[in-house]
Structure 1
Amino acid sequence: MTDHQSVYIMLSDTGTIFTSLIKTYTRAPYNHASLSFDPELREMYSFGRKNPKNPINGGFVKEDILTGTYSRYKETTCVIYKLEVTERQVEKMKRILDVFIRNNNKFLYNILGVIGVSIKEPIEFSNSYFCSQFVAEILKRSGINLWDKLPAMVTPEDFRKNERLELIYEGKLFDFEPIKKQLKNYDE
Structure 2
Amino acid sequence: MSEVKYVYIMLSDTGTLFTNVIKTYTKAPYNHASLAFDPELKEMYSFGRKNPKNPLNGGFVKEDILTGTYSKYRNTTCVIYRLQVTKREVEKMKRIIEVFIKNNNKFLYNILGVIGVSLKEPVEFSNSYFCSQFVADILYRSGIKLWDKLPAMVTPDDFRKNDRMELIYEGKLFAYGPIKQNLVKT
> Displacement, 1:155?
0.1
- Per the alignment, residue 75 of structure 2 pairs with 75
1:62 is aligned to: 62
1:174 aligned to 2:180?
A: no
Structure 1 unmatched ranges of 5 or more: none
User: Offset of 1:43 from its aligned partner?
Assistant: 1.3
Superposition pairs of residues 113-124 of structure 1, within 5 angstroms = 113-124=113-124
Deviations 1:111-135 (A, max 9, x none): 0000000000000000000000000
Alpha-carbon distance between aligned partners in 1 of 2:32 and 2:49, rounded to the nearest angstrom: 11
Local SS of the residue matching 2:148:
coil
Q: What residue in structure 2 maps to residue 161 of structure 1?
A: 161
Give the secondary structure class of the aligned counterpart of 1:48: strand
Q: CA RMSD in A?
A: 0.9
Structure 2 residue 87 is matched with structure 1 residue 87: yes
SS in structure 1 of the partner of residue 162 of structure 2: coil
- 1:106 aligned partner: 106
Percent of aligned positions with the same letter in both sequences?
Answer: 80
CA distance in 2, matches of 1:2, 1:79: 28
Alignment of 1:15-54 (within 5 A): 15-54=15-54
Aligned-partner SS, 1:25: helix
TM-score (norm. length: structure 2) = 0.99
Q: CA deviation at 1:163?
A: 0.3
- Distance, in Å, in 2 between the alignment partners of 1:185 and 1:49 is 26
Say how many residue pairs are matched: 186
Q: Which runs of 5+ in 2 are unaligned?
A: none
Separation in structure 2 between the aligned mates of residue 106 and residue 152 of structure 1, nearest angstrom: 18
CA distance in 1, matches of 2:110, 2:54: 16
